[in-house]
Chains A and B, each alone.
Chain A
Amino acid sequence: MRWLLISLEIFIYTNNVFCQNRQEQRMLMLEQKIFQTPHDSIKNSLYLQKFNISLGDQDYQRSYFELRRVRERYINDSLIESNFYWNAALISKLSGDFQYANIFYDSYLDFTSDTSLSSLILGMLIKSDIDSSAFYNFRDQYEYTSHNEVSACFEKLLSFKLKRKWAYILCSYLVPGSGTLLSGDFYNGIGSLVTLSGFSYGVSQLVKSKLYFGAGIWSYLFLPRVYFGNIRLTVAKIKELEKKKKSKLVYSCEQKVKELLNNNPIDFRLNE
């Protein structure tokens, strides 16, 4: 009887512990503790725990959600605080929230003054998402002489603009289809030329046949649409061309950054 009771107790305990060890159960238990505690500092440490657990499980959506509940003013330990800023900057960048990534990264730099290569690489990646002036200020402030080709690559990317866009559009205004041809789309360029000239020829034939109403109506309905449509098409093709040229630069930059990251990996700091 005694052994039966003991084994029953062990069974209940391990069953519960086994259930509690599952990830969602763990998060639920933490949330229950958060609910029960009245103290903000204890709540904050539990929020931080949830944040770190979800980071460890690579559930980035959830960790980004938990991040917004953490208040850094309640964190007393300097190592935990610096790790928090680092993780927050990284998770914000991964979630596409570049402004917050920038804020957290600046807080990290202010707190630690970390000028290691990993930190500078992360800074470079975050600042380049904001705008070019933020990137240049950062690069000038932290002049790192090694791996200059990466920063040069980013600089080229940020300052990239297709030259003389106005020329394509002016060509389209003067000779419909020429702007599209120059931007590289041969078939659409010829198509614009043929369509507009075809319609114009048709309208002129109608005028010759003394069908003035018909000529007026067809020209009113179609000629402006085709003419301005051709210009809108040229603008769209210019954007495509710019994107295409930029993507080549992006690819080469990506290869350089990958190489750099292989040697200096950036990861979450989860050792508590």
Chain B
Amino acid sequence: MKISLIVFFLFSFFFSVNAQINSQFICYLVLTNQHKEHLTYLNYLLENDGSSDSLSYYRMKYYLLTKDYNSFESEIKNCKLCFNDSSLLNYSASYLIKSSISSADRFWKIDSKFGKNLTKNSLLKKSFDLTKNTQDSTGFLPYELKFHFDEYKFVKKKKAWIAAGLSMVIPGSGKLYIGRPNSFFGSFLSNFLFGLTGYESVRVLGINNGYSIVSLSAFSIFYFSNIIGVVHDLKRIKNEKKKHFLYEVATYQSGDIYLYE
């Protein structure tokens, strides 16, 4: 009876010892890119030990490593240990913002609701808030990132009606104003050439001629598309510069953070 009890406890102990999280082993699996074994190990721990804070923590790291942001977003609320690790939070925010800005925004809200709101004073969060109100102080931004923010601020100030007005006067000049200088020449040339053909056809053949109508229609399509397109493009370029600034901040912030150390 006693011997059985001893043997029973030894066996149970032996099998339960294998179920503890071995962080060095996990680091080894990450270094050797053994993602399948990594996931198997985490599932094995889940089956044997059940769910725990430390296991959730490692699972979140696994999702970030394999860029499974959907699973990360759905399970982060249950990981209390994650909300104590500011470097993990900053790393996640940096990578989430590169997949989509709204997912990073949701993540910050989760942190403020379920966690200790450690990301509130992070560089990326402050930069994100700065993009909403560009008049705020930029003292917290390092020198390398101020340049990108200034670019964004410069583009944000631009007005659509000025771009449209410039395009009306000189086709293609609106592109120079909004910041697409390399495509100015193509736009200007196409408008100029079609305008010239239209003018010549009206002068020689009169406005009621079929060819004049075709030339003038071609010119007008190019002319109006140049105006409407530049207004639409200005919205796009503002969005692009904002994303570019936030991506640069995310890269800067995640530069010296490693998921597995």
Question: In the bound complex, do residue A27 and residue B36 qualify as a contact, i.e. CB atoms below 8 Å apart?
Answer: yes
- Chain B, residues 132-173, CB within 8 Å of chain A (1/0): the string is 000000000000000000000000000000000000000000
Question: In the bound complex, do residue B193 and residue A217 qualify as a contact, i.e. CB atoms below 8 Å apart?
Answer: yes
Q: Which residues of B contact A1 (CB under 8 A)?
A: 1
B5 at interface by CB-CB < 8 Å:
yes
Q: Which residues of A contact B4 (CB under 8 A)?
A: 2, 5-6, 9
Q: Which residues of B contact A210 (CB under 8 A)?
A: 204
B200 at interface by CB-CB < 8 Å:
yes
B1 to A, closest residue via Cβ: A2
Nearest chain B CB to A38 CB, angstrom units: 13
Question: In the bound complex, do residue A19 and residue B44 qualify as a contact, i.e. CB atoms below 8 Å apart?
Answer: yes
B196 at interface by CB-CB < 8 Å:
yes
Question: In the bound complex, do residue A12 and residue B5 qualify as a contact, i.e. CB atoms below 8 Å apart?
Answer: no
A69 to B, closest residue via Cβ: B32
- Chain A, residues 1-39, CB within 8 Å of chain B (1/0): the string is 110011011001100100100001101100110010000
In the bound complex, how far is the Cα of B43 from the Cα of A28, in angstroms?
11
Question: In the bound complex, do residue B5 and residue A19 qualify as a contact, i.e. CB atoms below 8 Å apart?
Answer: no
B257 at interface by CB-CB < 8 Å:
no
Q: Which residues of A contact B7 (CB under 8 A)?
A: 9
A211 at interface by CB-CB < 8 Å:
yes
- Chain B, residues 7-48, CB within 8 Å of chain A (1/0): the string is 110011001000000000100110011101100110010010
Known: A2-B4, A35-B25. A13 touches B11 (CB 8 A): yes
Q: Which residues of A contact B12 (CB under 8 A)?
A: 12
Known: A5-B4, A19-B47, A221-B193. A25 touches B11 (CB 8 A): no
B130 at interface by CB-CB < 8 Å:
no
Question: In the bound complex, do residue B11 and residue A28 qualify as a contact, i.e. CB atoms below 8 Å apart?
Answer: no
- Specify which of A5, A16, A27, A218 is in contact with B40 (CB 8 Å cutoff): A27
Question: In the bound complex, do residue A16 and residue B44 qualify as a contact, i.e. CB atoms below 8 Å apart?
Answer: no
Question: In the bound complex, do residue B200 and residue A214 qualify as a contact, i.e. CB atoms below 8 Å apart?
Answer: yes
In the bound complex, how far is the Cα of B130 from the Cα of A13, in angstroms?
59
Question: In the bound complex, do residue A31 and residue B34 qualify as a contact, i.e. CB atoms below 8 Å apart?
Answer: yes
Question: In the bound complex, do residue B205 and residue A12 qualify as a contact, i.e. CB atoms below 8 Å apart?
Answer: no
In the bound complex, how far is the Cα of B25 from the Cα of A8, in angstroms?
30
B226 at interface by CB-CB < 8 Å:
no
Q: Which residues of B contact A245 (CB under 8 A)?
A: none
Question: In the bound complex, do residue B40 and residue A35 qualify as a contact, i.e. CB atoms below 8 Å apart?
Answer: no
- Number of B positions contacting A (CB below 8 A): 30
Known: A28-B44, A62-B36. A16 touches B200 (CB 8 A): no
B215 at interface by CB-CB < 8 Å:
yes
B12 to A, closest residue via Cβ: A12
In the bound complex, how far is the Cα of B220 from the Cα of A21, in angstroms?
74
A251 at interface by CB-CB < 8 Å:
no
- Specify which of A8, A28, A218 is in contact with B8 (CB 8 Å cutoff): A8
In the bound complex, how far is the Cα of B36 from the Cα of A9, in angstroms?
30
In the bound complex, how far is the Cα of B40 from the Cα of A8, in angstroms?
26
Q: Which residues of B contact A69 (CB under 8 A)?
A: 32
Q: Which residues of A contact B5 (CB under 8 A)?
A: 5
B201 at interface by CB-CB < 8 Å:
yes
Known: A5-B8, A9-B8. A32 touches B193 (CB 8 A): no
Determine which residue in A28, A62, A65, A213 has the highest number of CB atoms from chain B within 10 A of its CB, and name it.
A28
B103 at interface by CB-CB < 8 Å:
no
Nearest chain A CB to B36 CB, angstrom units: 7
Known: A12-B15, A210-B204. A25 touches B1 (CB 8 A): no
Question: In the bound complex, do residue B40 and residue A28 qualify as a contact, i.e. CB atoms below 8 Å apart?
Answer: yes
In the bound complex, how far is the Cα of B11 from the Cα of A119, in angstroms?
50
In the bound complex, how far is the Cα of B68 from the Cα of A208, in angstroms?
67
Chain B residues close to A by CB (< 8 Å): 1, 4-5, 7-8, 11-12, 15, 25, 28-29, 32-34, 36-37, 40-41, 44, 47, 193-194, 196-197, 200-201, 204-205, 211, 215
19 more CB-based (< 8 A) A-B contacts, given A6-B4, A213-B197: A5-B5, A9-B11, A12-B15, A13-B11, A16-B15, A24-B36, A28-B41, A32-B25, A35-B25, A65-B33, A69-B32, A206-B211, A209-B204, A209-B205, A211-B201, A211-B211, A213-B196, A217-B193, A218-B197
Chain A residues close to B by CB (< 8 Å): 1-2, 5-6, 8-9, 12-13, 16, 19, 24-25, 27-28, 31-32, 35, 62, 65, 69, 206, 209-214, 217-218, 220-221
What are the 5 A-B residue pairs with the smallest beta carbon separation, nearest first? Answer: A24-B40, A214-B197, A213-B200, A28-B40, A217-B193
* Subset of 7 A-B contacts with CB under 8 Å: A9-B8, A13-B11, A19-B47, A25-B44, A32-B25, A209-B204, A214-B211
